[in-house]
Every structure is written in C-alpha cells, then in structure tokens.
Amino acid sequence: MLREQCRWRGTARNRGRIMQATESGRETAGEQASSRFLSTLWYKLQQPPWRTFAVAGVLFALAGIVYLSWTPGERVADGRHDRRTNGIWLGHGWLGDDAWFAENQRDPGTFRVPQTRRPLAHLLASHGMKYVFPHLCPCAPDGTLPKEDAEQTERFLDDFADFSVVPWVGGVLGEHCFPESPTWRQGFAASVGQLVERHPRLAGVQVNIEPLPSGNSGFLLLLEELRTALPEDKILAVAAYPPPTRWHPFVEVHWDESYYRAVAQRADLMVPMLYDTAIRWPKLYESVVADWTSETLRWSDPTPVLLGLPAYADAETGYHDPDTENLHHALRGVHAGLKRFARPPGNYQGIAVYCNWEMDDGKWDTLRQEFERFP
C-alpha cells in the first residue's frame, strides 16, 4: 500500500510538472502571437495610407479632448447684467391695417383686443423689457411704409405707455430698399416722419435693411436724412450687423470697425443681430458671441446698445441652427463678453430678443434663470 501511494504521488507530481510546462508553453506562444500582431500593426501604421489615418485619428481625439475642456461661455444666474431696459421684436399684427390681415389670412381679434394687448404688456414688463419693436415692414419700392391701423396703433400705445414703442421699418436691399437712390431715401424719410407725426407717442423707429454690406455710403446718408426728418426727441435705432468673423465669411452681413463706428455716430440706439451664423457647434457660437459683445460695445461707444439674441427656430434654413443659436448659448456668450470689462460699459443697455412670437414658457424660463434680475 505504501509503495502504491508513493507511486501515485510521483505520478501526480510528474503530471503537475507536465501541465505547468504545457501552460507555460501556451503562455509563451500567446505572448509571441501578441507580439507578432503588434509588430505587424505598427508596421502597417507606418505605411501609407494607414499612417495618415493614424495621425488623423490622434489629432481628432486631441481635438475632441480640447473641445470638451473648452468653456468659452459663462453662466451668470444672479442677474448682474440685467438692467431692466431690454428689448424685443414684435409681429406686424399689433400695428397692421386691415389689408395686412386679409392678405395674410390672420385674425384681427388676436391682436386688436385688450385681452391680448394688456397681458402681453404685463408679460414683457415682468421680464425687464423696455423697448418693443413692432414690425412695420417692408416698405414699398418708393420708400413708403406699409399702412398702420391708426386706431389700433393708438390703443397699443395706451396699453404700452410704460414702454418705448419703436416700429421696425425697412426691407430687403434691392427689392424694397435702395439707399443709394436719393429719391428713395427722400421718400422713405418722409414716410417715417409722417408716421411719427400721426402717432406722436411713438418713441422713434428702428431701421432694418437686409442684407447690407459694410461700407454702404447710401445707408449713412439715409440715417442723416432720417435724423433730420425725425423730431429731436425721437429714437433713431439701427438693427446692426455684427463684426467680421472667420467662422462666417459673408461680407454682406458683417460690418467692419470703421463702418460700424460711422453708423453708431448717426444712431441713437444700436441693436446688433448676433445670430444667423450657420455655426453648428454651441461652444464655438458662444465664443463668437463673446467676441461680438465686447467688440460692438466698444465700437458703438457712446451710443447705447441692445445685444440682439435669437429665440427663433427656422431649422430648415442653412444659416441658423436652433440647437446652437438659442437664448441659452447666446446668453453664455454675452456674459463671457461682458466679463472682459472691469464693469459693463455705460452704453450697454441689455439684450433684445428676436422674437416675441417664437417665445414659449421654456424660453421665458431660460431668460429668467440665466439673465434676469429681480427687484
């Protein structure tokens, strides 16, 4: 029995050694296979076109890491940048005549009753709006403004007595507006003067011609003629174009510094439109808005500025992505741009939201949480 036990133990030890040797051989073979695979892979990656793909992959990964760590925008929730003198663009129906409602198949009752005007005035006041820009476009090719409903306009002014009501006038360059033409400028300025004469409680007008390339001398003459046509106490506001940027290289919708300053010298209120960039990356848009915020405030000085921000959809257009250009990202850009100053410049008046008819509860909440100051 003892001899048999010894024989069994010896056999077991031999079997263990054989198994260990076998496993060691397997590990060595596996390591060799892995080494051969890595060597082959490394060799291929050094050869074209794999070398190019490898470098591109590394660069792409690094770019992703940089983008994720980049924070060009700024969140400010304490209302420090809200001066309660903001603005908002309104639709045509608030001042429009019967012909406009018939042509556009709209219900006048949506606009022409106190039950809609007064709640709107209350809503806008609660969000710190001071300027309202009701649409009164486009003008006729001879410069004549579209007709307003006189009675409705006065009722609107009654309910918006605590606001500066500044109709938005102008149109498309080369279709409705011809600022290089002395005849057209004369007709447009005369029509604007007549509008304010008919409704003295209007605070002024906002001129919006789209597009309008930098350096258009006719537009500067138009502003001078409008200044003459308007009473001294009326506001001449301009829906202005933002500074040039490499991220949106279209000269017809950007103004360089010299032209921007020339326009600001002839205006009482600058409202740069900080949108329609076609940018698809939110952080890049925030960075651009931050740059535009600081630049337009410096270039406008001392003319007051409302920074125009997007709240509209228009997702089907190529120049606007609502997932990128929206109040959330625009406000982050504005806050970052204002942070570049020791304190906000004296000509900074706030923001202007485009537009009221696109606002909903969610967008009002964004404005409340990310911008507004409460007394």
The per-residue pLDDT of the chain, averaged, comes to 89
> For residues 216 and 183, is the Cβ–Cβ distance under 8 A?
no
- The 10s digit of each residue's pLDDT in 5-32 is 444 344 444 444 444 444 444 456 666 6
Which pairs with CB-CB distance under 8 Å and at least 24 residues apart come from 365-370?
Answer: 366/326, 366/327, 366/328, 366/331, 367/127, 367/327, 367/331, 368/127, 369/77, 370/75, 370/76, 370/77, 370/327, 370/328, 370/331, 370/332
For residue 289 the two structure tokens come to: 């808005």
Domain check: are 176 and 324 in the same one? yes
Domain check: are 11 and 143 in the same one? no
Domain check: are 283 and 236 in the same one? yes
Residue 188 domain-assigned?
A: yes
> For residues 220 and 262, is the Cβ–Cβ distance under 8 A?
yes
pLDDT at residue 293, rounded to an integer:
98
Q: Considering the entire predicted model, what is its pTM?
A: 0.84
Domain check: are 49 and 143 in the same one? no
CA angle 200, 202, 207 (to 5 degrees): 125
Choose one of 26, 41, 69: the last residue of a domain. Answer: 69
Domain check: are 268 and 353 in the same one? yes
Q: Which amino acid is at 282?
A: P
Q: How many CA atoms lie within 13 A of 26 on its CB side?
A: 6
Beta bridge partners of residue 316, listed in sequence order: none
CATH number at 196 reads: 3.20.20.80
Domain check: are 154 and 247 in the same one? yes
* Residue for token pair 């600001």: 264
Domain check: are 220 and 131 in the same one? yes
- The 10s digit of each residue's pLDDT in 319-353 is 999 999 999 999 999 999 999 999 999 999 999 99
Residue 198 domain-assigned?
A: yes
Residue 78 domain-assigned?
A: no
Choose one of 40, 69, 98: the last residue of a domain. Answer: 69
Residues of the chain with pLDDT under 50: 1-26
Residue 177 domain-assigned?
A: yes
Q: Write out the residue range of the structural domain in which residue 52 sits.
A: 2-69
Residue 302 domain-assigned?
A: yes
Spatial neighbors of 56 by CB under 8 A, at least 6 apart, are none
Domain check: are 311 and 217 in the same one? yes
Domain check: are 132 and 175 in the same one? yes
Q: How many domains does the chain have?
A: 2
Domain check: are 47 and 124 in the same one? no
Domain check: are 50 and 192 in the same one? no
Domain check: are 61 and 94 in the same one? no
Beta bridge partners of residue 129, listed in sequence order: 86
